[in-house]
Amino acid sequence: MRIQQYELIRQLGAGGMGTVFLARDTKLGRRVAIKLLQTRNPAFTHRFILEARATARCSHENIVVIYEVGEFQGSPFMVLEFLQGQSLQKLVSGQRLPPSRVVELLAPVVRALECAHAEGIVHRDLKPDNILVTDAGTVKVLDFGIAKVLHGQDESPEKTRVAQVHTPEGAGVDLSNLTQSGALVGTVPYMSPEQWGNGVSVDLRTDIWALGILLFRMLAGRHPLEPLRGPQLAVTAFLDEPMPRLRDVAPDVPAALADVVDRCLLKRKEERFPDAASVLRALEPFLPGRYSREMRIDESESPYAGLSSFQESNAALFFGRSKEIGALMSRIRDRPLMAVVGPSGAGKSSFVRAGLVPFLKRSGDAWESLVLRPGRDPLGALASVVAPLMNSSDSLAQDLQEHQRLVARMREEPGVVGTVLRGRARRERKRLLLFIDQFEELYTQVADPRERQAFTACLSGIADDATTPMRVVLSIRSDFLDRVHEDERFMGELSQGLFFLTAPNQEGLRDALVQPAEMAGYRFESPEMISSMLEHLNSTEGALPLLQFAATQLWEQRDPARKLLTQQSYIEMGGIAGALATHADSVLDKMTPSARVLVRSLFLRLVTPERTRAIVSMEELQELSRDTVELQLLTDQLVQARLLVVQTGSGATGATVEIVHESLIHRWPTLHRWLEENQDDSAFLEQLRTAARQWHAKGRDSGLLWRGEMVEEAQRFQRRFRGELPQVQLDFLSAVGSQAARATRWKRALVVGSMVFLSVLVAASLVALLVIRESKKEAERQAMEARQAQEVAQQSLAVAEAREKAQLEAQRKEEEARRKEEEAKGQLAAAYNDLQRTNGELEGALRRAKYAQWRARVAMKSSDKNAAAARRNADAARRAEERAIRMAKDLEKRLLEEKERIRRMEDQLGKSGPVPSLELGLDNNT
């Protein structure tokens, strides 16, 4: 089915208002949602379209976008942006939420109301079903398209009527009353006193009442008038009976927040908040992070994590990820197995440890978290987590034996772990979260694929269904995601729960930088200082840990007297670049001498001759050392130290490695010294890398080996270079040297052979001289005979050439005659076509002349009806007849001339065949 340019795909839902379809926009190539209302009332359709178009003026990130409204087969429809997520009704499902989470979910709703109210639009049906939380964590308010538009006039109390008195929550809206004159739109549990027909007009404060009901239900877990239902809720209209106070129902809610909710639920609308902006200002102090900021931490402890991951214990200092946490919270309820996927340095471990886990524990449910890293013995690490939950023995030896038996049993029965954990969760009436941190260690440190598959089989047995109290979350670097497919079952389950974590945006980085300092009672000396740090990290991969590291260094140089992080300290430590260079030296100092040599080769490979960052594949870096395992471990160590960044390549390029930031090239003295020492060889090394790669790719073709001056340059390079080279480059240089050595030996052998050959040649010449003298006379005689034979041959050749030239000339003349004949035929055909065209033109002209003569005769006959007019018409007819006669004579003359011209041409080209005659069909009258 199609509605204009929209092709319906499937039905998404249906209710009292109408039906919602998923559709595709065939013009713009995007998916949309189409709400088709179930009415054919022309008055309602007209009003609905006007109101929806007015609502489309509300352009806000928290209001669903209306693309188009119109009418289809007498029913109105609305085209909306297609959003994937779940409603607030399904997300909350009657449970209590922590205050910070409630405010985080409803603050975007208040911002949407603020935008709509500024356009004079009241929603009037605000409820959990009309609020959608997308998979990305964005909150969207729906159904503004059916709101009543206020044109600066209040609704007349006399016209007020009640809608949906008997409609349960979520059942929709009665279309018989919708937007008709004086009708009210609403859902019973969320209707304000003025919507119940108490003689008070409806305005924007009606939405503030519904917002208060939402806040109350999410904070207390029930409706304020519980257990009243349906028509019983009409007590809302009794202005003298106040609503229950939130602090009486939920005393653990902060008093200031409870006061905000109670003010929203004052029955006299004049006593409520005047607008949505006032509600937003009242709620902002309770947003995640801002509410925590009222907590103070001891300034003897750094509020920043540095290069380490955040832990659950310092969750109050974790900022900038609230939107992503909300998105993962909404998905983890339906997915038993989730993977947080992102590049190195995106903060995956901190996101789960200090973000997701504390949020789950504050969500109202009892949660317990278990954390492990696979390491070299993933089954052993999992057994160490599970064993304490089972019956423990009295001695350490028995514990070790039990641990080994458990590992062996897990290999044979991978479902045993899930059985133990689910039993623990049911006994304790808790929900368990198992977090596998740095899941890529399963592939970097475990060589046996059977060991890896045994571990993933255990995880599949733990997270096997969404109805269980178990959830498994793992963090994995994006460049290792393609390794998971070796266990097809595990990959199939994990692919449905991928959560991609990107780097924080500018606002998130700013919160992560500023708010921890404020919690410790400190502030940055100037806004420019903050902007400089954020700008420096704008194009940096792994920006979050670098920011935390620089902030830690800045914190150590703080000014306690003024409670400032000063600009001078930032300058002295060299900014983020200087702090990073100092950190790089500290990492290098902890390495062995052999590892430093390899690090030098690694960093030199990652810098171009133009002193910029080079992006090099992991496969190419493995050429730097014969021990690929050592190189892999060293690379991982530098990645963990935030000096290198590993990124997933595109296509078949695999993982790539690069230096974390350009400033290391210019501001790290050690690397600068390495580059200066290697300056003379940098250009040659680039040529060597390219040549060796091509040579190896072509099956080590000897034709691609260097020759000439490049061989001498390679020999000079080998004498002066003291660093390590990849094995392919060493093999290439060795092959070049071997080929040059073979060429030298061949030249020497050729010289000696030439000398021996010359000696033999001199001796043979003396012997042959006598023979030559005897043969000279014979040669002279034979030469004379040859000259005579040559003269005879030359004479024969001249005769043959003359004969051939005559034949060629005859052929040329014959071709010329044939060409002229073809041209004559072509000219005759063209002339014939011209005559036919002229004949047609003459016939047309004669027909027009006949028609003109006929019109003249008709004009002469009609002149008898009116004498004065007849004379004028007769003169005009005569003149027209004379012109026609002259034209006919001219045409006849031209025809005779054309016939004469044709006759002459026939005489000239008589041999080319007869020319068809032209019959014009002229009569005497013509």
Q: What is the pLDDT of residues 792-837, one digit of tens each?
A: 767 777 777 777 787 788 788 878 878 887 776 777 777 667 767 7
Over residues 381-403, the mean pLDDT reads 73
- Bridge-based pairing state of the strands 148-149 and 121-122: antiparallel
What is the reported pLDDT for 154?
42
Closest C-alpha to 99, from 294, 331, 291:
291
Model confidence at 474, pLDDT cuts 50, 70, 90, reads very high
Q: Which listed residue (25, 125, 437, 636) is catalytic?
A: 125
Name the phi and psi angles at 607, rounded to 5.
-125, 130
What is the reported pLDDT for 293?
45
Residue 708, sorted as left (phi over 0), alpha (psi -120 to 50) or beta, turns out to be left
What is the reported pLDDT for 259?
93
What is the reported pLDDT for 917?
47
Residue 212 pLDDT > 90, yes or no? yes
Q: What is the pLDDT of residues 428-466, one digit of tens each?
A: 888 899 999 989 889 877 888 899 999 999 999 998 888
Q: Using the CB atoms, write b or e for 540-558: b if 16+ within 10 Å.
A: bbbbbbbbbbbbbbbbeeb
DSSP state of 340: E
Residue 918 pLDDT > 60, yes or no? no
In the residue annotation, 125 being an active-site residue is answered as yes
Residue 63 pLDDT > 70, yes or no? yes
Neighbours of 135 (CB within 10 A): 14
Over residues 143-148, the mean pLDDT reads 60
Rounded to whole angstroms, the Cα distance separating 549 from 555 reads 10
Rounded to whole angstroms, the Cα distance separating 62 from 142 reads 9
Long-range contacts of 523-529 (CB under 8 A, 24+ apart): 523/563, 523/564, 523/565, 524/564, 524/565, 525/564, 525/565, 525/566, 525/567, 526/567, 528/567, 529/565, 529/567, 529/570
Over residues 837-841, the mean pLDDT reads 74
Closest C-alpha to 436, from 306, 337, 330:
337
CATH class of the structural domain 321-503: alpha beta
Model confidence at 215, pLDDT cuts 50, 70, 90, reads very high
Residue 69's beta-bridge partner residues?
A: 78
Q: Picking from 231-235, 499-503, 636-640, 746-750, which range would have the lowest pLDDT averaged per residue?
A: 746-750
Q: What is the pLDDT of residues 86-100, one digit of tens each?
A: 888 888 877 788 888
| Owner of token pair 């994590």 | 305
Q: What is the pLDDT of residues 537-586, one digit of tens each?
A: 776 666 777 788 888 888 888 888 888 988 888 888 877 777 778 888 88
Model confidence at 184, pLDDT cuts 50, 70, 90, reads very low
Taking domain 2-286, whether its CATH number is 3.40.50.300 is answered by no
The vertex-915 CA angle with 909 and 921, nearest 5°, equals 140
Residue 475 pLDDT > 90, yes or no? yes
Rounded to whole angstroms, the Cα distance separating 458 from 382 reads 9
Asked if 172 and 90 count as a contact pair (C-beta separation under 8 A), the reply is: no
What is the reported pLDDT for 337?
93
For the chain, what are the domain ranges? 2-286, 321-503, 785-926
Q: Return the higher-pLDDT residue of 510 and 398.
A: 510
Model confidence at 610, pLDDT cuts 50, 70, 90, reads low
Residue 57 pLDDT > 80, yes or no? no
Rounded to whole angstroms, the Cα distance separating 77 from 49 reads 8
Asked if 307 and 548 count as a contact pair (C-beta separation under 8 A), the reply is: yes
What is the reported pLDDT for 148?
53
Rounded to whole angstroms, the Cα distance separating 437 from 374 reads 8
Consult the annotation and say whether 35 binds a ligand: yes
What tokens does 106 get?
């409803």
Rounded to whole angstroms, the Cα distance separating 779 from 561 reads 119
What is the reported pLDDT for 156?
39
